[in-house]
Each structure stands twice: as structure tokens, then as C-alpha cells.
Amino acid sequence: MPLLRWLTRDIDINAATHAPYRLLEEVAKHSHGDRDAGNMLIQGDNLDALKALLPYYAGRVKCIYADPPFNTKQAFPDYDDNLEHTIWLAMLYPLLELQRDLLSPDGTLFVHIDDNELGYLIAIADEIFGRKNRVSIVTFKQGAATGHKAINPGMVSTTNFIVVYARDKSQWRPNRVFTGRERDKRYGHFLENPQDHFTHWRLTTLSAAFASHKGKKIAELKKELGPQRYEDELNTFVIAHASQIVQPVRPDYDAVSEAAQQLIDQSRVEPEKVFHLHRLGFSDMYFQGGQRWIFYREKLKEVDGALVAGEPLTTLWDDLLSNNLHTEGGVEFPKSKKPEALVKRLLELSTVENDLVLDAFLGSATTAAAAHKMGRRYIGIERGEHAITKCQPRLQAVVDGEQTGISKAVGWKGGGGFRFYKLGAPVFDDTGHLSENVRFAPLAAHLWFALTGIPYKGRATSPFLGSHEGVGYYLLYNGILGDKRPNGGNVLTGKILANLPPHDGEKIIFGEGCRLSAERLEAEHITFRQIPYEIKAR
């Protein structure tokens, strides 16, 4: 497969490996609600944060939404979208690598981009994910050709794109999603007497049935309501009476069963009579005069809790405009905020409740807000003060039950919570040893989660971190036993073992060294793991 080359490629493709490995440290004052709900908001560089997540979540993220800078050569109030092209490639390549490693085998990556870097994104994403795992390219209508956009000659850009990759397309199982569409006006007939036996059914026109329902003549009704209101009320009538709205169509004779062909032939011989074909496991068929009656109810799908005329999701999304978003979520993010409805569609396509969602370009926290309201767990990463000034307040409002965005569509009432984290100092120094800046508490939380898969709830004031499924976990580090000398208390000896809090069963002990014999370790049911070599990292 051809590879994209740029000036610093040889350095950039190894950037993920060379990025410093950091621990995550909770900032409790910015956490909110149920801290054990499994949701994380991380403040820090997204490359370092993604690498810090690997020991916890490698292969466990079901959906990633990535909204990197479009590189439009503009500077916006909240971020700079004017990167030199090589720098943009250098930024994105390692981020895609780490996000690939975090995805589950059946996971999905959605990358939102416009046409400035679309071709280059596809080239490097094909290399990292494999071209065979590229699923599709969605065209997303972002705006309309109005205002200042319509002044200049030439074509007006109103769309951008969502490039979709599966971690492993052979295991990818997307959900079936429907979108609403305008009423199909070909369904122009109305069944007057559905309560009667089908042999006595009668059809009239839809407009006549609607006028009769309103108790007025058609012309009078149109004049009274006006064009738009007439259509709106007619649409409501159609949805309410969908089992009576009919479109007679001429079926493909060669494509139907023999039984259907026989009834088509009979209906031509007796054109005034309605014929019925019962089908096990499928909707029944009705024929008159060589035509099949198609009922509008078969087009209805439930979308956002309401029955609407629906069609399967396509790769052209022109129904989720990004205008009037200034109040959504209660935070400003000019020129870049995405609608919660867009993220909702992505999550409906690729996840179910309790699945894990990741956004490493969190921005105004749209992805996390939508995921929270839809019952998905999430990890959001945002650098700088935006994590505190925009993301945290928005998610706090979601926990408290705010009602903008998709809240009404998904029945959101509030609840749940999240933990706020910052990135700690690099774990390892230049010699490969633990940095002296690494404190006991975040290292304890990291080891506990990496080994058990659940958040650490202890106070980190004892070398005994706790027990899980019968195994006791210990950490000898940073003078936790009271000895502040560099190696004091960090080496497992008989004396130290005797003073450790007891645990009846298997024990895993982390330390910088071990003076106990293999026989003694086996007798004490101890598995010793040496720091820093057995701290799980990329």
C-alpha cells in the first residue's frame, strides 16, 4: 500500500512510543456526582493522556469520536486552527495509533474533518488501521449557502465529512439506525372502513379523508389553515392513521412468490374485489386490479421517541444542521461546537448502553454530554483551561439534569457523575527508574486499576491497597512504611513482611527489590513484582 511521506515522518511515526508515560491524578474538587460511575474528564495533552490510559483501557473502548483541528488556516477564539501541514500530520499520526490501540476488536472510530485535510487523513488512517477496515465516508451538511457565504463567486462549502473506521471490520457489528424523512406523498389513498372484512374495503383520496376528519371542504380548509399549517396538520393526520394510508403499486410480477402471482392474476380478472395473501413472518399482502396495496404504517419507525416516516441511515446526513447551537450545553465554543444530535447518531450506530466512549479532542464536551445522557460511559480529554472552564461546567450541568441538546429526545432527567483528572509527572526518569516526583497515592490507584479493572477507593495511607477476588495487593514505595530513605521500606524483607497488614490468601506485592527466597515466597503465597519493570505501560 502506498504510504504518505512528509519531512518529519520518521520521527513522527515513533512519537507515541517516545511520549512520556504519566499517571492520572484525580482533582476531587472538580469531580461531580457519582464518582464511581466510570466516567473520566482529563485535563492535559491528548497524546500523553491517551498513553496514560493504555494500561486501563487498551482494547476496551467501543467508540471513539475524534474532532481534530480542520487546519482551515484560521485562528478562532478558543483554539488555533492554523497549523503548518507537516505539524498537523505529526500531531495526528501518533494520536491515531494510540486510539487504535484503545479500541475494542469490534470498536468504531469516527474522525470529523473537512476537505482541507480529508485526503491526507485517509492516507495515514489507512496505514494505521488498514484500508480494509475503512467503513465509509459520511458527508455531513454543516450549514447553508446563506449570509456571507453566498457573496463570493464559485461554489459555497456547506459540508464536511466523518471518516469511519472499524478496528477489525470482520468483527464490526453496527446497529440498524433509521432517520426521519418528509412524508411520502405517493401515499395518497385512504382506507375508509378498516373495521370491515377486507372484501368490503373502500378507498378514497387522502385529502378528502383529511377534510372529512376536519369537517370542512378541502378548499375551505386550505384557505383557513394556510399552506404550511395545512401540511403540518395533514402530516399529523397521516401518522395517526398510518394503518389506513395506502399507495397502490404495480408489483414486479417475476419477483414475487407463485401464490402472490396467482392473486395478482385473479385481481385483474375481478378488478373490483380485494384479495388477501397471508404470509407467516411477514406482513400480509392485499391486491386489487393487479396492484398491491402498500400501507404507510410499514414506513414508520420510532426516532427519538416518536413515530415518523423513516429510512435506513445513509452516508448523506443533511438533517443535523449545526446552527443555533450557542445555547446548547450552556457553554460558548464559536465555530467548532458540534450538535449533541450528531454524537447521538454516532453512538446509536456503534454502541449500546454502558459501552465506553472516548473523545481526545473534547472541545466543549459535546461527546461526553451526549454519552452521559444516553447511558454510555465516557472518557473526555481536553488540554488547558478549557477542561475547567468549559467541559467541567457542562458535564456538571448534565449530571444536574440540564435540558438542552438531546435531553428531551432521550428522556434525560439527571444523575450519574464523573471524576476529573490531571496528568501527573512522567513516571520514568531518563535512566528508566521511577521519577522521584511520582507520589504513592496515584501510583497505588494506577496499579490497583490496572490489576483489578475497578477504580481505587482506598485512602492510600497503607502499603496494603486492599483485596479483590481473594487476592491481596501491596505496594512498597516512597516511604509508605515510615522510612524516608530512598530505598527504605521499598525492598521486601522478612522484617518488612512481618509488619505488613495481614491478608489470608494470595498476595501480590510491588516493590523495588525482594530479599526473600523463592521457597519463602511460595510458602507465603506471594507473587513479587518489581518496580519499575512490571508497571504496565505501552
Q: pLDDT tens-digit profile of 394-445?
A: 999 999 999 999 999 999 999 999 999 999 888 887 777 778 788 888 889 8
Angle at 50 between CA 110 and CA 88, to 5 degrees: 65
| CA–CA dist 230, 246 (Å, integer) | 20
With beta carbons less than 8 A apart as the criterion, state whether 81 and 67 touch: no
pLDDT for the residue numbered 538: 43
Name the pairing type of β-strands 377-382 and 417-426: unpaired
**CA 271 and chain centroid, separation:** 53
| CA–CA dist 334, 326 (Å, integer) | 8
Regions in the chain scoring below 70 on pLDDT: 72-83, 147-152, 321-327, 330, 332-336, 483-488, 536-538
Report the helix count and the strand count for the chain, using DSSP H and E: 17, 28
Name the pairing type of β-strands 74-75 and 61-66: unpaired
pLDDT for the residue numbered 336: 62
pLDDT for the residue numbered 434: 78
Grid cell of 465 as nine digits: 491497597
pLDDT for the residue numbered 149: 62
Q: Quick one: which H or E segment has residue 246?
A: strand 245-249
